[in-house]
């Protein structure tokens, strides 16, 4: 069987700050800085699907009352989780993406990216409702409540779904044509709980947005693959912990599978030669799977050597 070039690209928003000589903190606080970083990345590596967002799930949590810990060269993290009761939840209102907190900043980036690349497909971002719920309520508390008070978790996730729909509609107005939905905490659920608390709200997003949605879950999501696909999403992105070849029979042919080169062991810690070898090995391994596209298992760390990123992109181009 002859080799052929496969579409695909790594998740590289965080490391792209090295191209613009900026920090992660500068990019999540300033929409124009994020635009310069992302457009530099798109132009340098000829990225076909243009990201219109800089990786950051803290902005929506912050506007809903969470305290945020900022770092120069690491993702912002949620420090406090203020929603513990139904009374706490009742006080929340769905924010206006055009007015509240840092959300207008994110829309500025989206608008600038859509204006600059009118001919490209443009991907927006919606934080998955379940992960937003864990940010608001605290991961341990929400997980315990899935057993002790599942109706409260339903109510919390429903609110988070309405937040996601509002933010998604605002990005569609900017010109986005697809969405990336990251649900990093969902892998901690069993399949039955995932179907109720995480998959069901993603299905609502799919129904409301009416554009292709790519769903990513960090860690080992093998036990969730069929439920992920049942949401109606257009593609699933799987982390390095997943045996990507083994899940192929579980994924319908009309659902893309993206993954899953190791962003740590290979891209951060390997040599350029090892990057080329492991990229090529993954391309060979998946060459007969028509609904597979190359991707890294998760976002590349910000201190990934640029020579490794360049080696990866060259390996993709030369395959």
What pLDDT is attached to residue 55?
83
Q: What angle do CA 171, 174, 179 make, to 5 degrees?
A: 35
Query: What is the domain extent for residue 214?
Result: 17-318
Read off the CATH number of the domain in which 147 is found: 3.20.20.210
Residue 8 lies in a domain: no
Residues 184-219 have pLDDT tens digits of 999 999 999 999 999 999 999 999 999 999 999 999
Contact (CB, 8 A) for 114 and 122: yes
pLDDT below 70 — which residues of the chain? 1-7
Residue 35 lies in a domain: yes
Residue whose C-alpha is closest to residue 128's, from 49, 218, 51 = 218
Place of tokens 């998604």: 168
Residue 165 lies in a domain: yes
What is the Cα–Cα distance from 56 to 143, expressed in whole angstroms?
23
Residue 51 lies in a domain: yes
pTM (two decimals) = 0.95
Residue 58 lies in a domain: yes
Residue 238 lies in a domain: yes
Contact (CB, 8 A) for 217 and 239: yes
Residue 158 lies in a domain: yes
Provide the token pair at 177.
Answer: 């044509």
What pLDDT is attached to residue 3?
46
Q: Which helix (H) or strand (E) holds 225?
A: helix 225-229
Residue whose C-alpha is closest to residue 229's, from 291, 172, 315 = 291
What is the Cα–Cα distance from 276 to 153, expressed in whole angstroms?
45
What pLDDT is attached to residue 237?
98
What pLDDT is attached to residue 86?
98
Residue 245 lies in a domain: yes
| Structural domains in the chain (count) | 1
């Amino acid at each position: 069987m002859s080799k052929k070039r496969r579409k695909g690209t790594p998740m590289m928003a965080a490391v792209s700050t090295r191209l613009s000589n900026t920090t992660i903190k500068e990019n999540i606080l300033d929409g124009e800085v994020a635009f310069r970083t992302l457009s530099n990345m798109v132009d340098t590596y000829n990225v076909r699907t243009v990201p219109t967002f800089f990786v950051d799930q803290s902005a929506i949590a912050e506007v809903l009352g969470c305290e945020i810990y900022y770092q120069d060269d690491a993702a912002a993290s949620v420090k406090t989780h203020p929603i513990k009761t139904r009374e706490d939840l009742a006080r929340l209102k769905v924010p206006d993406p055009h007015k509240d907190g840092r959300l207008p900043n994110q829309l500025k980036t989206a608008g600038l990216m859509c204006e600059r690349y009118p001919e490209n497909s443009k991907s927006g971002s919606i934080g998955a409702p379940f992960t937003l719920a864990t940010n608001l309520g605290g991961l341990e508390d929400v997980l315990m409540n899935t057993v002790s008070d599942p109706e409260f978790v339903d109510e919390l996730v429903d609110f988070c779904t309405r937040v996601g729909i509002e933010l998604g509609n605002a990005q569609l107005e900017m010109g986005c044509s697809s969405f990336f939905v990251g649900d990093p905490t969902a892998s901690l659920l069993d399949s039955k709980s995932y179907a109720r608390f995480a998959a069901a709200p993603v299905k609502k997003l799919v129904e409301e947005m009416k554009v292709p949605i790519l769903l990513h879950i960090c860690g080992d999501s093998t036990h969730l693959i069929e439920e992920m696909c049942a949401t109606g999403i257009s593609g699933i992105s799987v982390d390095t912990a997943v045996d990507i070849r083994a899940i192929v029979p579980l994924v319908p042919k009309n659902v893309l599978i993206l993954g899953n080169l190791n962003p740590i062991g290979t891209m951060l810690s390997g040599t350029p030669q090892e990057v080329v070898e492991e990229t090529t090995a993954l391309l060979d391994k998946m060459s007969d799977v028509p609904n597979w596209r190359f991707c890294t298992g998760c976002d590349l760390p910000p201190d990934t050597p640029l020579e490794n990123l360049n080696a990866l992109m060259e390996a993709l181009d030369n395959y």
